[in-house]
């Protein structure tokens, strides 16, 4: 129309037969759940720019409403187990969110939430994000293969101290250190039998008194 009518110039005149196209929105929740606002036409030559200004903010309000309408709704908390069809919808929804919003969604919707971590970079970032999202971050599960670097164990203690989050540590059955593990299974088992090594240190750890929740 040649002019930015978002500026509230109260005495600006609009030419007659001006057509103001606001928007047309359709909710994706259900084929019949449609909200449409088509073309707004005024033949009154005395319409003023402040009226356009009001319509502009009306459009913003309806746009916000449209975004809310199109966002899928999930129960809080989600009932477990999650069937494949619903899981697909959840993953589709989460794929559009930022990492922070994905974690926030998990905190709001998933009962018995916990975080598994080896205290690498991505795990530490997630721990820090969660500490900013909720006052009670989910507990951490750490698979102690007994072969971690000493610095990793030091980092575990630092995380406990800084974030106050419980860390549940799982070790191979009947072993508290490398010497005990190698007495049972031999030295450098990962070289001679990688599948057996992974089973002993990652698949079959002792049961930790962890609160009831999804595994």
Kindly list the domain boundaries of the chain, sorted by start residue: 18-70, 112-203
CATH architecture under which domain 112-203 falls: 3-Layer(aba) Sandwich (3.40)
Do the Cβ atoms of 117 and 168 come closer than 8 Å? no
- Is the entire prediction scored with pTM above 0.75? no
Q: What's the pLDDT tens digit per position in 172-215? A: 988 999 999 999 999 999 999 999 999 999 888 665 544 444 33
Q: What's the pLDDT tens digit per position in 121-161? A: 999 999 999 999 999 999 999 999 999 999 999 999 999 99
d(CA 153, CA 159): 10
DSSP H stretches of helix in 38-168: 49-70, 84-94, 99-109, 121-133, 150-163
């Amino acid at each position: 129309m040649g002019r930015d009518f978002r500026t509230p110039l109260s005495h600006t005149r609009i030419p007659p037969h001006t057509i103001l196209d606001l928007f047309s929105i359709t909710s994706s929740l259900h084929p019949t759940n449609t909200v449409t606002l088509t073309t707004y036409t005024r033949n009154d030559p005395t319409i003023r720019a402040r009226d356009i200004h009001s319509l502009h903010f009306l459009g913003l309000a309806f746009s916000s409403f449209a975004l809310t309408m199109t966002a899928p709704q999930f129960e809080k908390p989600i009932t477990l187990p999650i069937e494949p069809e619903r899981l697909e919808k959840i993953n589709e929804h989460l794929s559009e969110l930022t990492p922070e919003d994905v974690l926030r969604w998990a905190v709001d919707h998933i009962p018995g939430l916990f975080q598994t971590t080896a205290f690498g970079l991505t795990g530490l970032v997630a721990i820090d994000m969660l500490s900013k999202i909720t006052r009670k971050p989910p507990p951490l599960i750490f698979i102690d293969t007994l072969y971690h670097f000493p610095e990793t164990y030091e980092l575990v203690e630092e995380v406990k101290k800084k974030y106050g989050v419980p860390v549940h540590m799982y070790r191979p059955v009947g072993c508290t250190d490398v010497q005990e593990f190698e007495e049972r299974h031999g030295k450098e088992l990962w070289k001679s039998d990688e599948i057996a090594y992974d089973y002993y240190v990652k698949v079959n750890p002792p049961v930790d008194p962890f609160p009831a929740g999804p595994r």
